[in-house]
């Protein structure tokens, strides 16, 4: 059994992480802007980024189906394992649902999503101001949930690395050349 | 039984002919504002957007048999614009767009109407927005319905011709220069 994530899984993980960080920050910033050319551009970029993240997440899930992730370290008690699986499931769910909520919200508010200004996404809901406001709230709440989960995700990874001293964090990081095979198998506990 | 059906058919036929004849002779002199609308379409960063104007008035003199004698003037209140969002509406009333405070009305005055046959016409006229006048050419269709008629058409215009969206908004990559104006009017015949 592989003890590390594949290069593709790592690339997708970090690419999506950076994209979500940027898109989240952009969304938070642009929400308070008054109408201007810059504001319209930022909204479009945010929507393009959201669609891109969605596509990357779908690719990541597809890859994961054919390449199961390495097993959790043996020392983890059942409750921690359950929490880890539930947390990852929730992260995937939110990464999938948040772009969809943004897409539907845009349609309801009357602004179709056209990916990079080229590929139009169909409007699955008709223009409806009340529905648009509701979906905006949904998009916001889902993002706050994601924020909480990401903080927990990072905290858990750091706990594994610095407290449990296992390889959970390292196996998602590109391998350093000089690392001996022994270290990659048992993590930093060798130190 | 068959006879009644026959005579009914005849009566309907006669009525239809009569109506067609009255429609021929009819002159439309106003529109029904509740059944008429002016919409516009444009592209914003590649996204097709729609909007409309809610308040406008039309004076009309139109006999489809005498298109050369047709007269039409349309005046619309630019502050009745609906771009699809509250912020958008407030923005386009401003100085850089319609400058509604100084130019509250946009105006179209028909200068010529040419019958193309089959209920289609070519309408030429002068469009004035924000104090600037340009000639425009619209194609329109005319569908009579008794004492009323549906008149629908559209024409392309460039917002830059009228200084609509100046300064920071002059970037056509953001809001396209080309705007399509679409109108649907329900014309009413004189004396109706």
What ipTM, to 2 d.p.? Answer: 0.72
CB contact under 8 Å between B85 and A109, yes or no, is yes
R_g (Cα) of chain A, nearest Å? 19
Chain A residue with minimum CA distance to B174: A37
Chain B partners of A120 at a C-beta cutoff of 8 Å? 47-48
Chain A partners of B47 at a C-beta cutoff of 8 Å? 44, 111-114, 117, 120
At residue B147, the pLDDT reads 86
Distance CA A187, CA A169 (A): 9
A165 phi, psi to nearest 5 deg: 55, 45
Which residue of A34, A39, A40 to mutate against B (max B Cβ within 10 Å)? A40
Burial of A64 (0-12, 13-18, 19+ CB in 10 A): middle
Tokens of A173: 């990081």
Question: Where in B90-168 does DSSP place strands (E)?
Answer: 105-117, 120-129, 132-145, 148-158
At residue A186, the pLDDT reads 44
Distance CA A7, CA A5 (A): 7
Residue B26 confidence class, pLDDT cut points 50, 70, 90: confident
**By the 8 A CB rule, do A127 and A107 touch?**
yes
How many residues belong to chain A? Answer: 191
Strand pairing of B81-82 and B105-117?
Answer: unpaired
Which residue of B41, B42, B46, B170 to mutate against A (max A Cβ within 10 Å)? B46
Smallest CA-to-CA distance from A184 within B164, B190, A168, A147 is with A168
- The domains located in chain B, with CATH, are 27-189 (2.40.128.110)
Question: A25: left (phi > 0), else alpha (psi -120 to 50), else beta?
Answer: alpha
Q: What's B62's DSSP letter?
A: B
Residue B5 confidence class, pLDDT cut points 50, 70, 90: low
- Runs of H (alpha helix) within chain B: 2-25, 86-93
CB contact under 8 Å between B87 and A41, yes or no, is no
Residue B191 confidence class, pLDDT cut points 50, 70, 90: confident
Smallest CA-to-CA distance from A179 within A1, A2, A4 is with A4
Please give the residue that has the higher pLDDT: either B14 or A43.
A43
Smallest CA-to-CA distance from B36 within B23, B54, B62, B49 is with B54
pLDDT, one tens digit for every residue, chain A (191 residues): 578 999 999 999 999 999 999 999 999 999 999 999 999 999 999 999 999 999 999 999 999 999 999 999 999 999 999 999 999 999 999 999 999 999 999 999 999 999 998 999 999 999 999 999 999 999 999 999 999 999 999 999 999 999 999 999 999 998 766 554 444 444 444 33
Q: Mean pLDDT throughout B6-11?
A: 68
Chain A residue with minimum CA distance to B51: A110
Chain B residue with minimum CA distance to A48: B45
Q: Mean pLDDT throughout B125-142?
A: 96
Distances (CA, A) of A20 to A99, A100, B178: 10, 14, 35
**By the 8 A CB rule, do B28 and B189 touch?**
yes
A113 phi, psi to nearest 5 deg: -95, 120
Q: How far is CA A152 from the centre of its chain?
A: 13
Smallest CA-to-CA distance from B154 within B178, B116, B181 is with B181
Handedness of CA A100, A102, A64, A152 (dihedral sign): negative
**By the 8 A CB rule, do A171 and A149 touch?**
no
Distance CA B164, CA B106 (A): 12
CATH architecture, domain A7-190? Up-down Bundle (1.20)
Chain A partners of B46 at a C-beta cutoff of 8 Å? 114, 116-118
Å from A114 to nearest chain B CA?
6
- Runs of H (alpha helix) within A4-36: 7-30
CB contact under 8 Å between A35 and B88, yes or no, is yes
Residue B10 confidence class, pLDDT cut points 50, 70, 90: low
Q: In this prediction, what percent of chain B has a pLDDT beyond 70?
A: 86
Distance CA B72, CA B60 (A): 5
DSSP 3-state of B57? strand
Say if residue B192's pLDDT is above 90: no
Candidate from A41, A110, A111 with C-beta closest to B174: A41
Average pLDDT of the residues of chain B: 90
Residue extents of the structural domains in chain A: 7-190
């Amino acid at each position: 059994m592989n003890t590390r994530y594949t290069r593709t899984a790592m690339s997708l993980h970090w690419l999506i992480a950076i994209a979500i960080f940027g898109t989240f920050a952009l969304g938070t910033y642009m929400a308070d802007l008054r109408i201007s050319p810059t504001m319209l551009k930022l909204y479009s970029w945010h929507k393009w980024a959201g669609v891109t993240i969605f596509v990357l997440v779908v690719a990541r899930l597809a890859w994961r189906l054919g390449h199961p992730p390495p097993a959790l370290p043996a020392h983890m008690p059942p409750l921690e394992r359950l929490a880890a699986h539930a947390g990852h499931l929730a992260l995937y769910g939110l990464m999938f649902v948040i772009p969809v909520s943004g897409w539907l919200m845009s349609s309801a508010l009357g602004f179709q999503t056209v990916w990079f200004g080229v590929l139009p996404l169909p409007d699955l809901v008709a223009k409806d101001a009340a529905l648009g406001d509701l979906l905006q709230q949904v998009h916001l709440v889902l993002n706050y949930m994601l924020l909480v989960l990401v903080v927990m995700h990072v905290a858990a990874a750091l706990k594994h690395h610095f407290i449990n001293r296992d390889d959970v964090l390292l196996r998602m990081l590109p391998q350093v050349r000089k690392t001996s095979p022994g270290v990659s198998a048992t993590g930093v506990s060798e130190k | 039984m068959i006879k009644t059906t026959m005579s009914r058919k005849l009566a309907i036929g006669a009525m239809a002919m009569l109506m067609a004849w009255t429609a021929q002779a009819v002159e439309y002199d106003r529109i029904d504002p509740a059944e008429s609308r002016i919409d516009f379409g444009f592209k914003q960063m590649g996204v097709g957007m729609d909007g409309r104007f809610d308040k406008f008035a039309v004076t009309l003199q139109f006999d489809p048999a005498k298109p050369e004698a047709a007269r039409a003037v349309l005046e619309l209140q630019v502050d009745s614009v609906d771009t699809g969002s509250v912020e958008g509406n407030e923005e386009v009333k401003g100085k850089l767009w319609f400058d509604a405070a100084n130019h509250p009305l946009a105006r179209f005055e028909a200068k010529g109407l040419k019958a193309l046959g089959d209920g289609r016409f070519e309408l030429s006229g002068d469009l004035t927005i924000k104090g600037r006048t340009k000639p425009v050419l619209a194609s329109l269709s005319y569908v009579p319905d008794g004492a009323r008629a549906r008149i629908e058409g559209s024409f392309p215009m460039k917002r830059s011709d009228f200084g609509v969206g100046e300064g920071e908004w002059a970037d056509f990559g953001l809001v396209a220069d080309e705007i399509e104006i679409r109108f649907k009017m329900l014309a009413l015949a004189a004396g109706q």
